[in-house]
Amino acid sequence: GAVVSQHPSRVICKSGTSVKIECRSLDFQATTMFWYRQFPKQSLMLMATSNEGSKATYEQGVEKDKFLINHASLTLSTLTVTSAHPEDSSFYICSASGGGSAAFFGQGTRLTVV
């Protein structure tokens, strides 16, 4: 159990365009979802926390107008990178919690902005 699926696993987009990444909890209801960014050889950096039906809470230094997060249902959260630039190229990972203490992670999305 506790499977979290992300889509797409890889995406390449042109500079200035927007990209949407989906995160789904497949076998449980995720009351809270988290979005992380990971640069090569670095740790995961928390970007934001979202609760179903509420606005996301962003970490300090993360632009909420650039990284739009929607958590419209208990099984789906989306992250939209707006007006992407090469410096936004990274590995984006979501995790989901069903109310317990442990969060379970998706397989990640490799974003490359050219």
Partner 1 sequence: GESVGLHLPTLSVQEGDNSIINCAYSNSASDYFIWYKQESGKGPQFIIDIRSNMDKRQGQRVTVLLNKTVKHLSLQIAATQPGDSAVYFCAENKGGGGGFKTIFGAGTRLFVKA
Residue 87 CB, shortest distance to partner 1, in Å, is 21
Provide the greatest CA pair distance for the chain: 39
Query: Rounded distance, CA 16 to CA 48, Å?
Result: 22
31, with CB counted inside 10 A (0-12, 13-18, 19+), is middle
Which residue's CB is nearer to partner 1, number 35 or number 84?
35
Residue 15 CB, shortest distance to partner 1, in Å, is 23
Which residue's CB is nearer to partner 1, number 12 or number 46?
46
Q: How far is CA 38 from the centre of its chain?
A: 11
Residue 63 CB, shortest distance to partner 1, in Å, is 18
Q: Could you tell me which of 114, 95, 98, 112 has the C-alpha nearest to residue 23?
A: 95
Binding site for partner 1 (CB under 8 A): 4, 6, 31-32, 34, 36, 42-46, 49, 51, 57, 91, 93, 95, 97, 101-108, 110
Measured in degrees and rounded to the nearest 5, phi and psi for residue 55 equal -70, 150
Residue 58 CB, shortest distance to partner 1, in Å, is 11
Which residue's CB is nearer to partner 1, number 45 or number 68?
45
